[in-house]
Structure formats: C-alpha cells, structure tokens
Amino acid sequence: MQRVKEKAIELLRSGEVSRVLGWKTGEFFYDLTPAVFESVEEVEKGFVFSLFSGANLSKYLIAESKKEGKIAVFLKPCDSFSFVQLQKEHRIKRENIYAVGIQCDGMCDGESLRSAGCEGMTGVEDGESLTVHTLYGDQVIEKKEALLGKCQTCKSKRIVDFDELIGQQGEDVPSDRFAEVAKLEAMTPEERFAFWRTELSRCIRCNACRNVCPACSCEKCVFDNPVSGVQNKAVADSFEENMFHIIRAFHVTARCTDCGECSRVCPQNIPLHLLNRKFIKDINELYGDYQAGADFDSRPPLMDFRMDDPEPSVIYTRGGAAK
Amino acid sequence: MKKIAISELNSLFAAIAADRKLYIPTDDSTGQSQFTIWEEGSILSRNVNTVRSAKDSFFPQVENLMGFKVTGKQIELIETRDPAESFAVFGVRACDVRSFDILDRVFLTEPVDTYYAQRRENVCIISLACGKPSETCFCTAFGIDPAEPKGDVTCWMTGEALYWQPNTEKGEALTAQLSVLVDADVADIEQEKAAIRATAEKLPFGKLDLSAFGQGKTKELFNRPEWKALSQSCLGCGTCTFICPTCQCYDIQEFNNGKTVKRFRCWDSCMYSDFTKMSAGQPRPTQTERFRQRFMHKLVYYPDNNEGIFACVGCGRCLRKCPIHMNIVKVIKTMGEGTK
C-alpha cells in the first residue's frame, strides 16, 4: 500500500503529471477524503491508500481532466469500469489523465465497521482479521463481515484501462451479485411493492446517491431545475418521492457499471444498487450478457438497435426471458 | 427521582402512550436507529444515536402550510395545518436536546413560526443520558454534559433499571400519570454519571479548540484560502444538512393542479445549486461558497446573532455520514491551525 503513495510522489517529482487525485488522511483511521494533491509535500503529508480508500475517484475526472496539465488518478478494479464508461460517453479527456491501476482485496469504512458491531473506534490493525481498538476495549472481527456492501459481491479484479499497474492484473471473479435480485423477483408483486416502499420510505432525498454516481453526469439534473416541475424539493407525496429512485435507475440503465457507490453513500442504508442490478440482470437475460465499462467497443444494449432485438413486453406476457 | 426495571420498559412506554403519541428510537431493518411511533412490540434501540435528528419532531421535512381554492375570481383559503396533539419523544440525547434551544431562537423569535411553536408546546421531551458515546461525539466541546441531558424529563439507564427525573412542570405532570414508576434514590445514578463523564474525557474531539470561530470572525474567515481545498471534493449533496439537528433552512413551494394550490415547506440545503436562487441568479455560484456558507452559518453568523452561541451541538452525525468524510471537525481544525 505504501507503493501507491511512492508512485504518487514519483509521478509528481518526474513532472509526468502536475496533480494527483487520491485519498487524503482524515481525523480517524477510516475517514479518508478524495483529494487533489499538487505537490510532493502535500502527498507526503496527506496521501494515503488503505483499507478505507473505498471512494471511487473516477467521477472527479469529469472536472479535473478539463483543467490544464496532466492529472494522475488511482483506480481500483471497480473504479476502472466507471473510468472506461465515462470515456465511452466522452465525459473525460483521456489525454490529460495518467491512470494508475491498483489491485484491491475489498474495502471497509467506518459505517461498515459499525454495522459489524464496533462503536467508539480509535484505531485498527489490518491483518487476516481486523483488530479494532475502541474506547471500550479491542474487538476482533472478520474482515469479510466488515467489507463494504459493494465489495461483498465484487465482480472483477480486472483493471480495464490503465497507463501503469501496481500489483497484478486480475480477472473477472465469480460473483453471486444477482442472488439478492433473484430473491426480489421471487416475491409476489405485492411483497415486492411493500419491500421497496419500506426501504424507500427512509429516503431523505439528500441526493448523495445521484451526486456520487459516475453515470449521473448531466450538467444540470432535471430534478435540480426549478422550472422542470419535478424539482427535487417539490414533494407531492411520498410515492412520487420514491419514483425518483426508479427514474434514476432507468436513466443509468446499461451505463451503470454496478460500482455500488449509491448504496455506499446512502445515509439510510437503502439498497439502491438492487434497482440497478435488476436492470443489469434483465439486460443480460434479454440481450445477452453485457457489462458496462468492461471494454471500449461494445454498444450499450439500450442505445443500440438490432433487428433481432427482443420485445420485452411480449416476452413478459409469455412468461419471461429464458433463464 | 423514580425508576423502573429495564425488563418493565414496555409497560412504561405503554403508560406514556396511553393518551399521546410516543416516539422512541428503534432499529430499522439495517440496524440503524430511527425515531418511530411506539406500538406494542417496539424495541428500544441501544445505538448511541438516531440517523435523523430529533428536530423532525417540530420541523418535519415536509409540512403543509395552507391551501387555496380558486373559483372564478374568488380565492378561498383552506386550512391544512395538522390539529394540535400532545406527543412525547423518548430517548433524546443531550446533543439533540440542546439543538432545540438553537432552533427555538430561530423559530420562536418574532415573527413566531406558529407551525413549529404548536408542536413545541405540545411535546414532552424525555432525554436519555449517553451510556456509550461514539468516537464521533464531541458535545462536550460545546459545554454539553452527556451525563446530564436537559429536557422535560431526564433518564439514565443502568444494567438493571431506567432512572427517571422530571425537570419541568410538563415533566412532573407526565410523571404523576405514570404509576409504573417507583421511587428511587438520586445517589443510585452517581456511578453511572461518573462513568459517562470518564468516557467523555477520552473523546478525541471533546475539547475541540473553537477559538478561531464565534462572534465577529466574519472578516477574518470569509476569504481564507483553505475553503477551496476543504470544499474541493464536496459532492454537493444534502446529507450533512438533512441529518443535522440544527440545520433549519427551508424552501416554500406550491403544488398547483389548476384548481387548488397546496403550499408547503420542505427542508432546503445550502449545499444545493438552487439554494436561495433569485431572479438575478445564484448568490453562491460554486460549491466553495455553498460549503463556506454552511460552516460560517454554524460557527460565525449564528453566534453573531445569538450572544456567541454556536449552532453545532457535536452530535457527530456529519462525521459519520458525509459520503466524502468532510465535516465540521475538519473545518474547525483546519481553520484553527491556520489562525495560530
């Protein structure tokens, strides 16, 4: 992990880049902040790559790559899918970016440690299992119990696009990420409706999910536009409010790489990624396996037209797609 | 001082809820704590605090203000105010109890916000001392004692019993109704209080240096270069403002179906791009200005208008929930160091 910081220093020192996008130390061991470093001194003082570098930095490149000079960015495998997807959508200037791929074994954060039962945390020792120091004594927890939700169903260790790699290139890994979706599909419509109404009833409409989402890159969101008639604050009723998430999921369909940031940042632990995953699963079943951000050449199924495209409405009246 | 066995808590809640709505913190399906209406079977959360603050009790996220019905050239006013009803909130922590004083100074100053005032008058606040503060807690930096929260009634929980101390007339009146409580000795909770204060001593930000902030600091702080770096990766979401017990900004909007108009207010966030947007445009064009507004409001503007009182209570919610882990402690420390 120290190699990542050394690389940041080396890139700045050699003049290869003028800025580095990475993670900055916080007040605790777990509260790292995405940050742009402009000098070796800044990196030495504050740069850190650790078990708590969960934040996906690729969306910051939309603004950062348009500035003068070259910027280095550190990308974990899942982040690299967003990076490629943003390139496909012409949202970032690749020539201004030096991408360093870094391998990853899964990330944690303060909230994931808290849900694993830690409170009053003052320090951590990273090993086979985690020893968390707290105001109330040490706690040993299994790392997999404290992983971020998105890391528990990691889909790939492959870094799709990079200029340089730290560590080994990885491969797609078997993942049961659709299991939770299948569970929802097995419910009756009434049960499913009740499930989502309960989950979404906790929404406080903070827009963190939208603002962190690399696929939500509109210059001005329709929900931020006071003349749109659907401005975020105009809550007609709670049901309409719930629709925001469904509309957003539709909007990012076939562009969502399943990076899981939406669920990571939700203060209310709403499993928003399940909406996106349902669409990914449907696309896989209807149009053949497709992974957004996995390559530069494929066309997103919903932005493409082929004569043999199936007609979902017809398929569903006949009992659904072949499994 | 009264008490009740922990195993009997349910009968206490049932007794309070006999003639009013009672809100208590319960765990949701993901294990986080939320104020919910007590009903038979509700289980009191053991988390240190709720995700949303207790301000929701008086200042809900959305609230109808009034309605209009238009017939020809006649406009009829429709009353949409919720009927006044008494309610109680149990388990409010010392930080949130203090936040009510901060909100009161805004909503109960002339012109009084009658919607807020109505709820405030009808509530009985039952506070609960913090057995196990979190590392993110720093209420003590604002002179709050987590072992002695205010409110109409103050409660302490030990392993065996819940101790109950009424502080106000409202609290006394409620206590008189609760025959399930038995007399207790004040000395019984001294040990618990001492334990809480001992933990509070160890809180990493419990003695946060606030000397760079307060009344009259606008000129010194407004143009400081650090704001840019602090706000650099801010996503512009509203998480910090919506979970904050002292954020009080709201917007007034109308829902118009062509015949009737529903006028309502809803929480607004200074982090949003259209916050206080006027016909002439946006007074805070980038996230740096919006970000600065939030912290200047809490740490300088509010104290300027309220005898030096800070509009932060150290509940630590923003420390936990900001998606990029930027928060008021980092702002206070960064600015404080720059001042030295």
- A283 and A246 Cβ atoms separated by less than 8 Å: no
Residue A173 is predicted with a pLDDT of 94
Q: Closest approach of chain A CAs to the CA of B324, in angstroms?
A: 5
Measure CA B338 to chain center. 30
Residue A314 is predicted with a pLDDT of 80
Q: Closest approach of chain B CAs to the CA of A174, in angstroms?
A: 26
Give yes or no for residue B254 having a pLDDT over 70. Answer: yes
Give yes or no for residue A239 having a pLDDT over 70. Answer: yes
Percent of chain A whose pLDDT exceeds 70: 97
CA distance A195 to A191: 6
Question: Given the DSSP bridges, would you call strands A129-134 and A137-142 parallel, antiparallel or unpaired?
Answer: antiparallel
Kindly list the residues from chain B whose CB atom is less than 8 angstroms away from the CB atom of residue A119. Answer: 48, 132, 134-135
pLDDT, tens digit (0-9, with 9 covering 90-100), for B52-96 = 999 999 999 989 999 999 898 899 999 998 888 999 999 999 999
Kindly list the residues from chain B whose CB atom is less than 8 angstroms away from the CB atom of residue A233. Answer: 251, 253, 266-268
Of A189-193, A238-242, A264-268, B4-8, the poorest mean pLDDT is in: A238-242
Residues B237-243: what's their mean pLDDT? 96
Measure CA A276 to chain center. 11
* Residue to test with chain A: of B239, B262, B277, B319, most A Cβ within 10 A: B239
Mean pLDDT, chain B, whole residue set:
95
A14-to-A22, A67, A162, B279 alpha-carbon distances in Å: 18, 20, 19, 49
pTM score? 0.95
Residue A250 is predicted with a pLDDT of 93
Give yes or no for residue B100 having a pLDDT over 80. Answer: yes
Peptide bond into A300 cis (omega under 30): no
Q: Within a 10 A sphere around the Cβ of B121, how many other Cβ atoms?
A: 12
Report residue A321's pLDDT band, with 50, 70 and 90 as the boundaries: low
Of A241-250, B121-130, B285-294, B326-335, the poorest mean pLDDT is in: A241-250
CA distance B198 to B191: 10
Contact B273 A224 (CB under 8 A): yes
Q: Within a 10 A sphere around the Cβ of A38, how many other Cβ atoms?
A: 15
Residue-level length of chain B: 340
Report residue A311's pLDDT band, with 50, 70 and 90 as the boundaries: confident
Which residues is A100 bridged to in the sheet? A74, A164
Report residue B257's pLDDT band, with 50, 70 and 90 as the boundaries: confident
Residue A323 is predicted with a pLDDT of 47
CA distance B42 to B37: 9
pLDDT, tens digit (0-9, with 9 covering 90-100), for A35-82 = 999 999 999 999 999 999 999 999 999 999 999 999 999 999 999 999
Interface confidence, given as ipTM, is 0.94
| Range picked from A293-297, A306-310, A311-315 for highest mean pLDDT | A293-297
Report residue A243's pLDDT band, with 50, 70 and 90 as the boundaries: confident
Domain extents in chain B? 2-201, 218-339
B53 touches A: beta carbon within 8 Å: no
CA neighbor of B98 nearest in space, from B127, B121, B60, B120: B127
A181-to-A217, A242, A282, A323 alpha-carbon distances in Å: 26, 19, 10, 14
Q: Which pair of tokens denotes residue B107? A: 């909503």
Report residue B280's pLDDT band, with 50, 70 and 90 as the boundaries: confident
The conformation of residue B141, written as its DSSP 8-state character, comes to G
Q: Closest approach of chain A CAs to the CA of B157, in angstroms?
A: 17
pLDDT, tens digit (0-9, with 9 covering 90-100), for A259-291 = 999 999 999 999 999 999 999 999 999 999 999
Residue A312 is predicted with a pLDDT of 80
Q: Which pair of tokens denotes residue A152? A: 């528990």
Give yes or no for residue B158 having a pLDDT over 90. Answer: yes
CA end-to-end span of chain A: 42
Give yes or no for residue B14 having a pLDDT over 60. Answer: yes
Which residues is B183 bridged to in the sheet? B2
Angle between helix A189-200 and A238-251 (nearest 10): 100
Q: Which pair of tokens denotes residue B210? A: 């606030």
Which amino acid makes up residue B102? I
Kindly list the residues from chain B whose CB atom is less than 8 angstroms away from the CB atom of residue A208. Answer: 235, 237-239, 323
Report residue B340's pLDDT band, with 50, 70 and 90 as the boundaries: low
Does an H or E element contain B64, and which? strand B62-71
Mean pLDDT, chain A, whole residue set:
93
Give yes or no for residue A236 having a pLDDT over 60. Answer: no
CA end-to-end span of chain B: 47
- B36 and B26 Cβ atoms separated by less than 8 Å: yes
The conformation of residue A239, written as its DSSP 8-state character, comes to H
pLDDT, tens digit (0-9, with 9 covering 90-100), for A141-152 = 999 899 999 999
Percent of chain B whose pLDDT exceeds 90: 89
Q: Closest approach of chain A CAs to the CA of B307, in angstroms?
A: 30
